[in-house]
């Protein structure tokens, strides 16, 4: 395991949110890590706390206990280390595509002239040439996701945190987004932490997959995916990994619905 300066480690993180009735226990002693150049996915039942993990990593919220380290440096509560694509695209309706793409990098006070040129190139790369001056309401779901992805890339961080980036897309659009993601990972040499509900999506790319339990989330399984890339969903080994993850997840979802008591 890489102990280099960009290894991200989440160590014994526990988090609860206050509520009117009783507090909501969300994360229970979570341990995760991502090494430089790795692709790691997180699977888990809806509402178990996956997005909360990302919000902790990027410093939007603080853990109740535990540590988050980048290399050897504790970073909880510190912002600006990661490129974060949140679960919904959060495009600003009053800004055009190009203005939406540069907004995050602008806030990080990067040079505006350079940014617009880079953004224009990236938009062309994802097939959005000619839509620079459109507004988000004039785009399809897949186009909006591509805009959000480019905005994330323009932050120029080594580690990408992608929270269900393709969750709402149809199968064909999703598949073309997968090709983009694969290129970004392999050719741009990014480190990726991906939250997804889709087991195949996790297995297509990941070096490792974490499976979380229902809330309060614990790490139920960590699967090393020893398959060559590019991967095929019809490969027998792929199908066997899929079955293994499905079995673990189904138990968690059944527990979540009260179908099994453990
Ligand atoms: N800021 C907050 N304040 C209070 N409760 C919160 C907050 N953020 C999340 N929660 C609660 O924490 C739990 C986990 O939420 P989270 O969004 O992390 O789940 P998730 O695993 O990402 O779900 P999904 O797969 O549906 O996106 C939920 O019960 C949610 O209501
Ligand atoms: Mg979520």
How does pLDDT run across 55-71, given as a tens digit for each residue?
A: 999 999 999 999 999 99
Each residue of 86-133: pLDDT tens digit? 998 889 999 999 999 999 888 887 677 788 999 999 999 999 999 999
Is 1-82+174-262 CATH 3.90.1150.10? no
CA 236 to chain CA centroid, Å, is 27
Is the predicted pLDDT of residue 246 greater than 70, yes or no? yes
237 vs 225: CA distance, rounded Å: 10
Highest mean pLDDT among 76-80, 103-107, 155-159, 255-259: 155-159
Q: What is the pLDDT of residue 227?
A: 97
Asked whether the predicted pLDDT for residue 261 surpasses 80, the reply is: no
Residues 51, 42: Cα–Cα separation, whole Å? 10
Quote the pLDDT of residue 106. Answer: 85
pLDDT at residue 16 greater than cutoff 70? yes
Mean pLDDT for 20-38 is: 95
Confidence (pLDDT) at 259: 64
Per-residue pLDDT at 3 exceeds 50? no
Q: For ligand 1, what atom is nearest to the CA of residue 164?
A: 27
Are 155 and 105 in contact by the 8 Å Cβ rule? The answer is yes
- Gap between the Cα atoms of 258 and 182, Å rounded: 38
Report CA(42)–ligand 2 centroid distance (Å): 11
CA–CA gap between residue 262 and residue 252 (Å, rounded) = 10
Where is pLDDT greater, at 102 or 170?
102
Ligand 1 atom nearest 49 alpha carbon: 18
Q: How much is the pLDDT for 170?
A: 86
Task: Say what the pTM is.
Answer: 0.93
Q: Whole-number mean pLDDT of the chain?
A: 91
pLDDT band of 176, cuts 50, 70, 90: confident
Q: How far apart are the first and last CA of the chain?
A: 33
**Spatial contact of 77 and 244, defined as CB atoms under 8 Å apart:** no
Rounded mean pLDDT, 205-228: 96
Could you tell me where in the chain the CATH 3.40.50.300 domains are found? 1-82+174-262
- Is-contact 102 117, C-beta < 8 A? no
For the chain, the 3-state helix, strand and coil shares in percent, each to the nearest 5, are 35, 25, 40
List residues near ligand 1 (CB under 6 A).
Answer: 17, 24, 26, 44, 46-52, 87, 215
Name which of 77, 71, 42, 38 is nearest 56 in CA terms.
77
């Amino acid at each position: 395991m890489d102990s280099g300066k960009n290894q991200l480690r989440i160590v014994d993180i526990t988090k609860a949110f206050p509520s009117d009735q009783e507090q909501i226990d969300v994360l229970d002693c979570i341990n995760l890590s991502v090494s430089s150049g790795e692709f790691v996915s997180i699977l888990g039942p809806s509402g178990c706390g996956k997005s909360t993990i990302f919000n902790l990593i990027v410093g939007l919220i603080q853990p109740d206990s535990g540590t988050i380290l980048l290399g050897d440096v504790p970073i909880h509560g510190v912002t600006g280390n990661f490129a974060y694509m949140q679960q919904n695209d959060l495009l600003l309706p009053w800004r055009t595509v190009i203005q939406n793409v540069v907004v995050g990098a602008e806030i990080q006070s990067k040079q505006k002239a350079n940014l617009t040129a880079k953004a224009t190139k990236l938009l062309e790369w994802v097939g959005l040439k000619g839509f620079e001056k459109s507004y988000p309401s004039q785009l399809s779901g897949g186009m909006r996701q591509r805009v959000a992805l480019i905005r994330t890339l323009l932050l120029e961080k080594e580690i990408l945190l992608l929270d269900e980036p393709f969750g709402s897309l149809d199968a064909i659009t999703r598949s073309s987004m997968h090709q983009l993601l694969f290129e970004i990972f392999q050719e741009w040499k990014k480190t990726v932490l991906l939250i997804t509900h889709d087991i195949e999506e996790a297995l297509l790319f990941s070096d490792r997959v974490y499976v979380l339990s229902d809330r309060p989330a614990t790490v139920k399984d960590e699967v090393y995916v020893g398959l060559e890339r590019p991967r095929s969903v019809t490969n027998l080994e792929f199908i066997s990994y899929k079955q293994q993850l499905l079995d673990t997840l189904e138990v968690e979802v059944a527990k979540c619905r009260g179908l099994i008591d453990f």
